[in-house]
Structure 1
Amino acid sequence: MGQVAQGLWQGITFVLVLGVLGFPFFVWRRRPAYHWRCPQCQHRNPLDARACGSCEQRILEDDVPKYIQADWTGPDLLALYLTSALLGLAVAAIMLIGSGSIPQSDITRAQAQELAQRPDILWTFFLLMGAFLTVLTVWMLASRFRWSLGSLGLRRENLGLHVLIGAAAGVVVALFGGAIGVVASSVSWVTVDSLGVLDLFPIEMMDPLWVLILPAALIVGPVSGELFFRGMAYRLLRARWPMPAAVIASALLFALGSSVVAPFAALVALGAANGVLFERTRSLVPGVVASSAHGALVVGWALARTAWATA
């Protein structure tokens, strides 16, 4: 009976893996619904129309291709995220097996759980997944949906002001995350994960793991998180829901799926703050800077702890 149950479980797992691998291909075979967006009022118009249905501005036949776009759907985003996660996991596994960090032989469930909490494995996955998510998001925006990074919100207008706003938001959220950590460690009935945020950082200043941590925490994580969770996911939610619901939903998705390293409550707060900033400024720059500032403070705190421990 045990062998039958094990075989059934392996069969179910195989089917699920095939479904996850095949889902992006199934989604991306469908051609998106294209329209042209009015350059004056941003209204969506059918491709055969030559006058905007909102402001009645007319465009020339030769100018239509410049304004053609398509909107993404929930399955598009899920396929994009799954593909990035699978590629990051596969490449990380190949790299770690090749370096000898992961054994090539079969491992037990306990060994797998232990490996899943190793900082070098986690940071390798965070960095690779964030990189794949960034590259695939930019590629899909340009090739499938015909959106530029500027139209998505990555613009240089009011750059200085947006940088200052984002830095201030990142500092506030980092302080909030620190306060949450203090409360969680001082209240006995608050459950804390066995692997804390600071446990992901090495305890030696010259540890080569910092080579992965710095780009993952300061560049790759913030950029990929804002492009995907604010630029795409929040836009999709905001088109259907009012602002508070869209901000909360996108913040929860960000906390669950982002490669930014922080306590869950701090990630929700960071996602909510970045959602509000994007709603008010229509720019992704404040969110990227906020996530980078938050990551810099977390890394700085880890470095300070390391320096204090080794002094």
Structure 2
Amino acid sequence: MDKAKLTIVLAAPRGFCAGVDRAILIVEAALAKYGRPVYVRHEIVHNRFVVDSLKAKGAVFVDELSEVPDHVPVVFSAHGVPKSVPEEAAARGFEVLDATCPLVTKVHREAEMHHQAGRQIVMIGHKGHPEVIGTMGQVPDGAVLLVETVEDARTVAPADPGRLAYITQTTLSVDDAAAVTEVLKARFPAIVGPRREDICYATTNRQTAVKTIAPTCAAVMVIGAPNSSNSKRLVEVAARAGCPRAILVQRAADIDWGALAGIARLGITAGASAPDVLVEEVIAAARERFAVDIEEVRVTEETVAFKLPAQLTS
């Protein structure tokens, strides 16, 4: 029987960003330089396939430094850590390799700058996300008020509305963050924002690509982890852009192909922590079931690259 036709519309850019590339390379370079094991505090990026691949090469992932033997190499994840973590690492003699995305580090420096200037900080972000925990941990307790929604922005009560600044988690929905920011600026006209947008280029580009393809597709599939903020935002963006079905899958084995029966155009993208091999895996699985044509819709080219820490290049 002839296979049903399926056009796969690939959003581009998709998948790994420069910060994720750098973080994975740091773990691999540390293993090459120091040998097994290299300890990594928290998932290096939010993707099980990546984490399991690095485990197979000799990386050991831990939740806290208390699980790590003294005087060994330790990598901090791409999401960043509170100041207390490198302080503990230094006290215990660890060789620290900081894989924090430089764009997250930028937000850390903003938080410090605002605190030093005597401003209370409003952080737009998701409670409990490692990046938010790390950023809030750059300054003393109470210096940052966390705002997640427009409603939070309408009710947040700073100590001094005239001395206020805002910063943003790098992986938010661009539209959601803009809506929250609009409320903050209306309530607190003197609020100080970042000189350059905190939401990272990769998050913005992937969301723009999904907005472009979503109205033309019967379904959009986002390949990414359920704990990946940027991947979950892509699902939301696709739905808001007019796609009747937007789903998140970790890899091909998780797909309910029966639920996609009758669909002629399937959009596919991948979160910034999802490797391209998982996209290829999904396309291969689709070819087993459908006569597949591929369209790629590219909204911009990405040329950003970040250097590795000096101790891995010297």
TM-score (norm 2): 0.25
Larger relative helix fraction? 1
Q: Greater relative contact order: 1 or 2 (C-alpha under 8 angstroms, separation 6 or more)? A: 2
